[in-house]
A = this chain, B = another copy of it.
Amino acid sequence: MKKNCNFIEKLREVGLRPTKQRVKMCEVLYNRVKTFHFTINDLVKMLSEEMNQKISLATVYNTVHAFEKKGYLKEISIDSHRSYFDTNTSVHHHFFDEDTNELIDCDESDIDKINIRKNIIGKKINSVEVLVRVASDNQNQK
């Protein structure tokens, strides 16, 4: 359970100071078996539950953005009201359950390789990501 040394090193590696807030956030986000998705709101709740002292909202924003910039987190935007962060930072696809607002990772095998025929001159492709929106079968449409 004391993998904090790893986090301290990891943070150093990307040039972020291992302050106690950042280490705590690493624990909350990465000390788990599976990667997962969260909103800023979710994270604030999780942190304030797990910590004895309170953490400032500004710090959560700053730290999440620092993590994102350094490639520790990836933003997945569903619509203007729903923006998630993903601890799985690889390029990968998602299902979005419109009933439960749940974002679900796809494995490599879930979606065949996407073949892009179009080529925009002078531009290179940075990423190709698919969002599959699903909803309950009975209560038709959204």
Contact = CB atoms under 8 A, between A and B. Distances in A.
Contacts of A79: 75, 77, 83
Majority secondary structure, A binding face: strand
B111 A117 contact: yes
Interface string A72-89: 000101111001000000
B126 A117 contact: no
Interface residues of A, number: 41
A130 B132 contact: no
A102 to B, nearest CB: 10
Nearest to A137: B124
Contacts of A134: 120, 123-126
